[in-house]
Amino acid sequence: MTILQHFGITTELAIILGIDLAIAIILLTAMRYLQGWTVKVNSTHELSERDNFAFGISTAGAVAGLGIVLTGAITGEAAESYWVEAIGMSAYGIFGLMLIKLGRFLHDKIALNEIDKNALIIKGNISVAIVDATAAIATAIIIRAVLIWAEDLTLDTFIAIFSAFAISQLMLVLLTRIREKGYAKRHQEASMQQALAQGQTALAIRHSGYMLAMALSFNAASHFIIFIPDAYINNIIGWLVFSVIMLLALSLLQALVKKLVLANINLAEEVELQHNVGIATVELAISVAIALILTSLMV
């Protein structure tokens, strides 16, 4: 008896896991270089010669995001053949990579429509890089949830995945607009995006917490929405309704818990005026914790 057999892993399963791992490594490597190609710079030059921390943070978000997506593609179960496993893993991985890139493009053009994200990151803007990396990770968390929710490898499956992805991007934009409106109200109609462009790291960290929380709460939908491959309209309506409900629930709970955990602290003044990174990080932790707890209660 071999060591693998001792742990219940057959030779066939070991080969399949090896195929999945090899494809994952190839895709992760491609994502690193794709980051440079997207903004027309040499990634090696930016990372190791210019020591561009912002570009590194942005790249880290992309690589981590793809890794998260790939966990949704890897089932650990034996496919019909090695070729079927390789094709399925590659298809889901490449599709996930494309959705991450599309999500970042939409986030740049719609959510962060007032600033040139790529130019700011190349200039070394840490705040914008944090938001960019978090947007990639949040999108990946959502894609992973949808990959696990969907079944089989058909055109209907990819349509269902893309539909849920589109709803998630709409919700990320809506979340950004809500946060921007609140910021403008507190600062005489000033722009939150311009504040990020000016390097307000604390603001970026807090906003990242809201994005991650929304993405994590999105996971719960996969346990409530029944996957019907050709029910295109029902799938879209289901994800939209559930996402709105979760966003409202999150917003109320976050506001309540932050008032209790951070009592006697003026959060707007600390984060937005004094740029208190510590307070912003606590806010991020609270947002993520609430999302995880709320999601666990609903699963």
Q: Please, where are the H alpha helices in the chain?
A: 3-6, 11-38, 43-44, 53-73, 82-106, 117-122, 126-149, 155-186, 192-197, 201-218, 232-261, 267, 277-298
pLDDT in tens, the chain (299 residues): 455 555 556 677 677 778 888 888 888 888 888 877 877 787 878 888 888 899 999 999 988 998 888 887 765 555 566 777 788 788 878 887 888 888 888 888 898 999 999 899 999 999 999 999 999 999 888 888 887 777 666 777 778 778 888 888 888 898 899 999 999 998 888 999 999 999 999 999 999 999 999 998 877 777 777 777 777 788 788 888 888 888 888 889 998 999 999 998 998 889 998 999 999 999 999 999 999 988 887 76
- Work out the burial of residue 25: count CB atoms within 10 Å of its CB; fewer than 13 is exposed, 13-18 middle, 19 or more buried: exposed
**Cα 85 versus chain centre, distance:** 26
The whole-angstrom separation of Cα 241 and Cα 261 is: 30
- Which tokens sit at 261? 């955990």
Q: How many domains would you assign to the chain? A: 1
- Range(s) of the domain holding residue 126: 3-298
In this structure, which amino acid lies at residue 255? A
Contact at 8 Å (CB) between 68 and 144? yes
> What one-character DSSP code corresponds to residue 39?
T
C-alpha separations of 23 from 54, 56, 70, 74, 177 in Å = 28, 23, 10, 11, 38
The whole-angstrom separation of Cα 282 and Cα 279 is: 5
Phi, psi of 162 (to 5 degrees): -65, -35
Task: Work out the number of other CB atoms within 10 angstroms of the CB of residue 254.
Answer: 20
